[in-house]
Amino acid sequence: MAISRSGPVTRDSSTVALGLAKVLVGEADANIASITQVLDQTVNSLGALNASNFTSNVEYWKLESGYPLLEDLTIPLREAVSLGCEFKEIKPGNLAIARGIDPAGGDAASWAYQDMTSGAGGVESDPATATIVVFDATTISDVWTVVFDTTTTYKVFGLQSGHVQTAGAQDGSISADRTFQVSGSDCFTIEANYFDANWVIDDTYHFVTTAQGDFTNSHSGEIALGNIEAPDYVRVEAIYTYPNGQNHMYIILPRANVTSSVELAFAMEDNANVAVTCEAKRADSGVTGITTTVWDNMPLGRIYFD
């Protein structure tokens, strides 16, 4: 006679989830038309994880009536979907993702004012009128000193690069655009009339340039601090392999923002972990710039199984 078992009895042991998911982060725009897993499982992987979790948070409004009040209806008000994880591999690409930077595009090259020594000279405050322009592909990181040798011309010296000039071996002029090069590549342009007409000989102006982020190497690169911006849009995929090694669950967030308050806790006998949250954003054709309609009935993404 068969023994009757009570309580919740396993129906299919191959569906029990145990272990961590693999998390991949890559370009959103380039892969927006795909509803299946497409990111490279090696190149785009965050690597070893300490934790991984999926959250679908829904808030509801409830209709009540009568006395005592009884519930008649539940209506969903809002839905938020996110994928969280803690990565163990502390490298430029992963920390860039934690800072909301798309590592495939790199952080754009930039420049910033440091200080000036001038009695009356000034610079244009409206970037639309005149500014310093940097080049994403070829700008380097250096500290620059502009030294006026006359009231209308100047020379530029880099702390690392030394005296730099244009491709035509020209120095600067306040009345003309000048594109300065380092090792034959354009680094930055100081536009005409960025400096006003009040500078005098030996006045100086200091600024810094920061190269575009390169996060492909595990042990080289730079992540600027103190310049936080809205996170880039990235594609996030989680691949969970069931313990039987044959079946998978895929979580696809086609257009997500990564948020994190990075804390690196270095300990004597444990590795550092960084927690990030990948927040799903709309990917339907109602979003400006998205032409594909594949996400119109699932704008925050999808979960599918094989």
Question: What is the average pLDDT value for the chain, to the nearest integer?
Answer: 93
Give how far Cα 146 sits from Cα of 7, 25, 117, 118, Å. 79, 41, 10, 11
- The per-residue pLDDT for range 216-254, each reduced to its tens digit, is 778 877 787 887 889 999 999 999 999 999 999 999 999
Per-domain residue ranges for the chain?
17-106+218-305, 110-210
- Output b/e per residue, 63-100; b: 16+ Cβ within 10 A: eeeeeeeeeeeeeeeeeebbbbbbbebbbbbbbbbbbb
Q: How far apart are CA 2 and CA 10, in angstroms?
A: 17
How high is the pLDDT of residue 225?
A: 84
- pTM passes above 0.85: no
**Which token pair is 251?**
């979580």
Across the range 36-64, mean pLDDT stands at 96
- The per-residue pLDDT for range 10-36, each reduced to its tens digit, is 999 999 999 999 999 999 999 999 999
How high is the pLDDT of residue 215?
A: 80
| Three-class SS state of 15 | helix
Give how far Cα 58 sits from Cα of 81, 297, 302, 303, Å. 9, 17, 16, 16
Task: Name which residue leads in pLDDT, 260 or 104.
Answer: 260
How high is the pLDDT of residue 137?
A: 82
pLDDT band at 135, cuts 50/70/90?
Answer: very high
How high is the pLDDT of residue 1?
A: 57
- The per-residue pLDDT for range 262-280, each reduced to its tens digit, is 999 999 999 999 999 999 9
Across the range 153-168, mean pLDDT stands at 96
